[in-house]
Amino acid sequence: MTETRGTQISNQLLSNLPHCDKQRVLEQCKLVDLVFGEMLCCADETVEFVYFPITGFISLLANNSDGQFLEIGLIGTEGMLGATLVLGSKQAPMKAIVQGTGTALQMDADVFVKCLNSSKTMSDLSQRYLFVLIQQLSQTVACNSFHEVKQRLAKWLLMTQDRTQSNDLQLSHQFLAKMLGVRRSAVTIAAGFLQNEGLITYKRGHIQVLSRAGLEKRSCQCFRMAINTYKRHLIIQN
């Protein structure tokens, strides 16, 4: 198991744990690389590991019967992959793939369940995070149904920037179209609108954020609602 003592741990979810509980979790984790495009779990398959991202981020994807997929959630340093284990089911509810290269703390799923059973604080925190994640997923469904593509694109860029901590995003229009569930031409039009307003610049496979404040104004309220929900349920004092 890769040593985690002395490693700078910046996962916000774990930072909410009391020191003794956090150390107990860290002792059961190993540091792993998150490789772009790596499949971490598939829908209906047994969850083998949970992940606490330190850098990089993970996309949660819903598929239809034709094999097309739509991103309905993002997991970065604010959370974890595998929180549904608190419900007593070991089956993954959806597909999860790495969309941002980085590192994560990996824990065996069975060990995580033991931690839940032995620590009320860990169990309570995981349940609160799962509630926040469910709200994020349901809000994404509503957002995809009612908001314009340029609003959704602005929101997605902000969410990605939060998880990469960078103004430079390696994102193609084709990739964004798949994430947003729209045609590539719709992303081109939306990105062109944001660029004309001086909020971003984009070239093939690359987007640079020039004005975060401007993107927040152009984004729908779903972005701010997600942040407020997280703060309301998970920002606690140890």
Give the tens place of pLDDT for each residue, 196-214.
Answer: 999 999 887 789 999 999 9
pLDDT, one tens digit per residue, over 63-99 is 766 667 778 888 999 899 999 999 999 999 999 999 8
Q: Would you call 204 exposed, middle or buried from its count of C-beta atoms within 10 A (0-12, 13-18, 19+)?
A: exposed
Q: Which residues contact 138 (CB under 8 A, 6 or more apart)?
A: none
Please give the Cα distance from 187 to 71 (Å, whole number).
Answer: 15
Same domain, yes or no: 80 and 188: no
Residues 191, 200 contacting (CB under 8 angstroms): yes
| Among candidate residues 118, 105, 109, the one with its CA nearest the CA of residue 1 | 105
Full DSSP string of 114-133: HHHHH-HHHHHHHHHHHHHH
- Read off the CATH number of the domain in which 75 is found: 2.60.120.10
- Residue 129's domain comprises 12-144
Instruction: Give how many domains the chain has, as a whole number.
Output: 2
pTM assigned to the model: 0.85
